[in-house]
């Protein structure tokens, strides 16, 4: 059964890499088409989502085919399971978490939980950190934007002009 694991893993890797390139092309087109609008959406990179999906599928194949016949040790299965769950949460974050800006209204959709609606007038400050651009509302951290995104630059620019 390990032969199936050795056959499936490279196939998944090849398909995953092709999917990642397709997502990169789609994301590039998506970013340029929404660059000049006042209404835009800031979300994580689809490319990272594609990478996480590929890794998660490989781990899942390892868990399934690696435990047929001569199973992996229990500790190795637990570690693989935890890595699988971490990447699954990352996938959920990439495709669920987003900030939508429409005129003065900011809608933040977290990974888990309900949407929160803010306005630019509620924002007290914006801090650029290594982990991302942090938005503070009512003295508390409301949400974090990825630093390198074009949407983040637009968001900060709008905040500065409406101050």
pLDDT tens, residue by residue, 72-96: 888 988 998 999 999 999 888 888 8
Q: Which of 96, 118, 136 is the last residue of a domain?
A: 96
Average pLDDT over residues 142-146: 85
Q: State whether the Cα torsion 66-46-130-101 is positive or negative.
A: negative
Residues 56 and 134 in one domain: no
CATH number of the CATH domain containing 106: 2.30.29.30
Residues 120 and 74 in one domain: no
Residues 110 and 141 in one domain: yes
Residues 92 and 63 in one domain: yes
CB atoms within 10 A of CB 120: 16
Q: How confident is the model at residue 120 (pLDDT cuts 50, 70, 90)?
A: confident
Residues 92 and 104 in one domain: no
- Using alpha carbons, list the distances in angstroms from residue 144 to 63, 67, 131: 34, 40, 8
Residues 71 and 141 in one domain: no
Q: Which of 52, 75, 96 is the last residue of a domain?
A: 96
pTM as predicted: 0.69
The set of residues, in sequence order, having a beta carbon less than 8 Å from that of 94 and lying 6+ positions away, is 43, 44, 45, 46, 48, 49, 52
Residues 65 and 136 in one domain: no
Residues 91 and 106 in one domain: no
Q: How far apart are CA 160 and CA 147, in angstroms?
A: 16
Q: Render pLDDT for 23-77 as a digit per residue (tens, 0 to 9).
A: 777 766 665 445 445 677 787 777 778 888 888 888 888 888 878 777 888 898 8
Q: Which domain holds residue 139?
A: 98-162
């Amino acid at each position: 059964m390990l032969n199936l694991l050795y056959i499936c893993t490279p196939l998944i890797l090849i398909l995953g890499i092709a999917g990642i390139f397709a997502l990169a092309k789609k994301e590039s087109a998506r970013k340029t088409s929404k660059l000049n609008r006042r209404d835009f959406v800031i979300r994580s990179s689809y490319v990272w989502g594609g990478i996480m999906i590929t890794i998660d599928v490989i781990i899942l194949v390892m868990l399934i085919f690696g435990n047929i016949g001569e199973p992996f040790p229990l500790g190795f299965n637990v570690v693989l399971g935890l890595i699988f769950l971490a990447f699954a949460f990352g996938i959920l974050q990439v495709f669920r978490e987003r900030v939508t800006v429409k005129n003065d209204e900011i809608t933040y959709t977290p990974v888990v939980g309900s949407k929160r609606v803010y306005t630019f007038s509620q924002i007290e400050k914006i801090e650029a950190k290594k982990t991302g651009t942090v938005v503070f509302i009512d003295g508390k951290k409301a949400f974090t934007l990825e630093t390198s995104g074009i949407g983040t630059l637009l968001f900060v620019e709008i905040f500065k002009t409406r101050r």
